[in-house]
Amino acid sequence: MPRPSLYSLLRPLLFRLDAEAAHGAGMRAAQLGQRVPGVVRTLFPAADARLAQSAWGLAFASPVGLAAGFDKNAALVPFWASLGLGFAEVGSVTARPSVGNPTPRAFRLPADRALVNRMGLNNEGAAAVAARLASTPRPPGFVLGVNVAKTHDPTLLGDAGIEDFRQSVRALAPQADYLALNVSCPNTAEGKTFETPDALDALLSAVVEELDREPRAGGSGSVGTPPLLVKLSPPATTDIDAGMVNELVQICLGHGVDGFIATNTASDRSGLTTEAGRLEAIGRGGLSGRPLADRALALTRHLYRTTDGAVPIIGVGGIDSAEAAYARVRAGATLLQVYTGLVYEGPGLVSRIHRGLVRLLDRDGLGTLADAVGAAAR
Ligand SMILES: Cc1cc2nc3c(=O)[nH]c(=O)nc-3n(C[C@H](O)[C@H](O)[C@H](O)COP(=O)(O)O)c2cc1C
């Protein structure tokens, strides 16, 4: 019988706390772990070399990264590296600091291995996060993505919203190995995303102009503008509305977007077993975790096909096992991210995905994970 992991013993205690309080406790424990990265590293071995990936000229020692929202203020970058992750996407960061929505604002749906959150983009703001990143030594070989969003303020509409994004890009691009635009947050104060053709087009024009203005010479030391990625919402069903998605994809490609992140959380509650009364009591917010997996996988496959595999995709949404990770890679993801899986499975999930991916490559007679990318999408 397999030995229970430390996390499986701790989880019942953590799950007695409200979801956000448990997250806070985990972050404080990680802060302690960050002081002894060598010790943490012995518990969480590095990924097998066969799993290494490259994208946008960056080398990823592991294809598995931390999804946005977990470390909004970039407080724990060295810790994420010591867990064996290949990269972390910090943020979402907004131009102005924000306390987010009133609590409680994060909820577990254990029967569905899911979460609902309406955090509301709480973060310390672009200037504070940029200063922290500038003074944090970057773990060697670790890739840092920075995710930016519009400040949580319903009065920031139209051009003012775009100017807000611009400010964040200006402050944070010098610190980022890649920059992700969160155009799909379901928890905005005005209840809208930037995923309409006109809004996305205007936003991308401004962001690209901002990036071209001042090629950076900072962050990881590379010169030039960081690759620009766009994070999309999940489709309503696995049956993708190709017309809508393709229009957004073409706008992105027209502006030279370098990659996609599929997907953000979902506003709907489809496919859940949690009883309706509980869902009603929780109220609105973005759904994450296992119920998202099939839809995020379908969008990944669709993006891979429509771009002929030429634009790297980060697959995220319900990845909580090596099998789910491998399916996402075969659908077209070069890289993967985890959030809700970490909450339910603990930090050992990263090494379990690594070991399982090597086993699955052996089963399929493949040399490297790169050989599997898009194998089920062609
Ligand atoms: C509590 C919570 C906060 C999140 N905050 C952000 C955020 O600030 N920006 C963002 O782009 N995505 C955010 N996300 C979405 C995740 O990055 C990810 O896209 C989504 O949860 C699906 O992955 P998962 O099923 O592995 O959780 C958040 C998710 C959760 C659960």
Atom 29 in ligand 1: residue holding the nearest Cα: 69
Which ligand 1 atom sits closest to the C-alpha of 340? 27
Question: For the chain, what is the mean pLDDT?
Answer: 93
Atom 5 in ligand 1: residue holding the nearest Cα: 69
Confidence of residue 123 (pLDDT cuts 50, 70, 90): very high
Which ligand 1 atom sits closest to the C-alpha of 296? 22
Q: What is the pLDDT of residue 215?
A: 63
Measured distance between the N- and C-terminal CA atoms of the chain, rounded to whole angstroms: 39
Q: What is the pLDDT of residue 191?
A: 66
C-alpha distances (whole Å) from 107 to each of 73, 118, 259, 283, 330 are: 21, 9, 30, 10, 31
Atom 1 in ligand 1: residue holding the nearest Cα: 117
Question: Please, where are the H alpha helices in the chain?
Answer: 6-14, 19-34, 37-43, 77-82, 126-135, 158-172, 197-213, 242-254, 276-282, 293-306, 322-331, 340-345, 348-363
pLDDT digit string (tens) for 244-272?
A: 899 999 999 999 999 999 999 999 999 99
Q: What is the pLDDT of residue 192?
A: 67
Dihedral, 4, 9, 15, 19 alpha carbons, nearest 10: -80
Distance (Å, whole) CA 178 – CA 259: 10
For residue 159, report the distance from its CA to the centre of ligand 1, in Å: 26
Atom 24 in ligand 1: residue holding the nearest Cα: 317
For residue 69, report the distance from its CA to the centre of ligand 1, in Å: 5
C-alpha distances (whole Å) from 199 to each of 110, 148, 202, 255, 265 are: 36, 16, 5, 13, 20
- Amino acid, res. 236: A
Q: Range with the lowest mean pLDDT among 30-34, 159-163, 222-226? A: 222-226
pLDDT digit string (tens) for 273-315?
A: 999 999 999 999 999 999 999 999 999 999 999 999 999 999 9
The answer on pLDDT for 111 being more than 50 is yes
According to the CATH classification, is domain 6-372 in 3.20.20.70? yes
The answer on pLDDT for 1 being more than 60 is no
Residue 54: beta bridge partners?
59
For residue 70, report the distance from its CA to the centre of ligand 1, in Å: 7
Q: Which residues line ligand 1 (CB under 6 A)?
A: 67-69, 72, 91-92, 106, 115, 117, 119, 121, 147, 182, 185, 231, 264-265, 288-289, 292, 316-319, 338-341
Helix axes 19-34, 6-14, angle to 10 degrees: 140
For residue 240, report the distance from its CA to the centre of ligand 1, in Å: 21
Helix (H) or strand (E) holding 108: strand 106-109
C-alpha distances (whole Å) from 90 to each of 172, 309, 331 are: 11, 26, 25
Of 55, 74, 84, the residue nearest 219 (C-alpha): 74
Residue 316: beta bridge partners?
337
Atom 22 in ligand 1: residue holding the nearest Cα: 317
Q: What is the pLDDT of residue 125?
A: 98
Q: What is the pLDDT of residue 186?
A: 78
274 in Cβ contact with 109 (< 8 Å): yes
Residue of 117, 260, 265 to test ligand 1 pocket, by largest number of atoms within 8 Å of CB = 265
Which ligand 1 atom sits closest to the C-alpha of 106? 1
Averaged pLDDT for residues 83-103: 96
For residue 57, report the distance from its CA to the centre of ligand 1, in Å: 26
pLDDT > 90: percent of the chain: 79
Highest mean pLDDT: which range of 88-92, 157-161, 218-222: 88-92
Atom 3 in ligand 1: residue holding the nearest Cα: 69
Atom 19 in ligand 1: residue holding the nearest Cα: 264
Q: What are phi and psi of 179, to 5 degrees?
A: -115, 130
For residue 340, report the distance from its CA to the centre of ligand 1, in Å: 8
C-alpha distances (whole Å) from 22 to each of 13, 28, 61 are: 9, 10, 29
What are the extents of the domains in the chain? 6-372
Which ligand 1 atom sits closest to the C-alpha of 19? 1
Q: Range with the lowest mean pLDDT among 119-128, 164-173, 191-200? A: 191-200
Distance (Å, whole) CA 311 – CA 346: 31
Distance (Å, whole) CA 179 – CA 227: 6
Distance (Å, whole) CA 343 – CA 14: 10
Q: What are phi and psi of 71, to 5 degrees?
A: -125, 75
